[in-house]
Amino acid sequence: MTLMNAVVFPAFGPPDVFRAVRVDRPEPGPGEALVRIHAAGICYHDVLSRAGRIPRDRPGQILGHEISGVVEAVGVDVPAGRVGERVVIYQRLYCGRCANCLAGRQDLCRNSRVLGEQGGGGYAEYCCVPERNLITVPDVVDLDSAALAVCPVGTSIRALVGVAEGKAGDTVLVTGAGGGLGLHQIQLARALHMRVIAVTSSPEKVEAIRAAGAHEVVVSTDGAFSAEVWRLTGKEGVNVVLENVVSTTLGESLRSCAARAAVVILGNVEARPVSLDPGLVIGRRLRICGSGNATYGDVRLALHLMATGAVKPFIHAALPFRDVGEGHRLMESRKTIGRVLLKGW
């Protein structure tokens, strides 16, 4: 077998638990493609997995689901012409046969998993996936940027457009606005002609948040921001909330809402239950919705918006794969402005 470089975590623990190893390079079977990985983003989901805070995960795996690269080889039943193609990988491995898959909602497939949850992820030189998971990257989009097309950009499209059904003229509240999701959500909402109120607990991130296009920035170091949002909206409230933090912000987000607003939960930073006021939800007729992976359509829209410059990826740092522990430390510090990428050995 041919060997490749990879990074694994032999046990749950802090960021320094990662180890660089040499493992067998996967070989593409029928209907599969081998991708030489150019870059892999570090999602907070990876941080929770490494720390043992996602019950279904187990140590010893190759993490990573935000992957861009070049097709290196293909198995039988895959067109040879795909070799050399620049691609981003759709992150969910799905059955393709259930009602959700057949309806184009592979993100809801009950017989699926996110790439990297059980190994075979992007913290390596190569990964092997079904050909159907390959999405072509437009020539004008560089592969560093493309690594963010599925998550966080596509994920944000699913939340704002697919779940909240946001429309031009809406006012959108973004929590955790200076992070990897928030900065891209601001640009997306602006591209769709929505007003954006951004909330951050980090004064040092205000400049980047404004550069992303936020109309208003609320700095809330104590977590109490609803009164200011209420003032900024003329006591009308916001139409959509994109909740990236949840654990310390959900109550204030609900109090910031207009009647019939949609509150979309994407994050679970502290991975713990939260409480809410049912009377507030009932009184304002609020919709509280969960949102997760993008659909194929969301990813293609993400790539189009990136190709046209409507959404410009925020990359805080690009580190060698061997420094993945430092990348996880940066993510846990919550001081990053945008995503941390891994690339090169």
pLDDT tens track for 91-107: 999 999 999 999 999 99
CB 80 within 8 A of CB 33: no
Share of the chain above pLDDT 70, in %: 100
Answering whether pTM is above 0.75, one says yes
Question: Quick one: average pLDDT of 134-157?
Answer: 97
- Looking at residue 55, its pLDDT comes to 76
Least confident of 36-45, 110-119, 204-213: 110-119
Name the residue ranges covered by the structural domains of the chain. Answer: 3-148+313-342, 152-290
Question: Quick one: average pLDDT of 105-114?
Answer: 95
Pick the CATH number of 3-148+313-342 from 2.40.70.10, 3.30.410.40, 3.40.30.10, 3.90.180.10: 3.90.180.10
pLDDT digits (tens, 9 = 90+) for 314-323: 999 999 999 9
| Nearest-angstrom CA–CA distance, 250 and 161 | 20
- Asked if the domains 3-148+313-342 and 152-290 are classified in one and the same CATH topology, the answer is yes
In this predicted structure, the answer to whether residue 132 has a pLDDT above a threshold of 90 is yes
Long-range contact set of residues 226-231: C-beta below 8 Å, sequence gap at least 24: 226/252, 226/253, 226/255, 226/256, 229/173, 229/197, 229/199, 229/256, 230/255, 230/256
**Alpha-carbon distance values, 242 to 98, 166, 184, 249, 289 (Å):** 29, 11, 11, 11, 10
CA dihedral 184, 292, 69, 115 (to 10 degrees): 150
- Looking at residue 119, its pLDDT comes to 81
Question: CA 13, 16, 21, 23 torsion: positive or negative?
Answer: positive
Instruction: Look up the CATH superfamily of 152-290.
Output: Medium-chain alcohol dehydrogenases, catalytic domain (3.90.180.10)
| Nearest-angstrom CA–CA distance, 36 and 219 | 41
Cα 256 to its chain centre, rounded Å, is 24
pLDDT digits (tens, 9 = 90+) for 271-307: 788 888 999 999 999 999 999 999 999 999 999 999 9
How many Cβ atoms sit within 10 Å of the Cβ of residue 20? 15
- Looking at residue 271, its pLDDT comes to 72
Question: Quick one: average pLDDT of 50-54?
Answer: 89
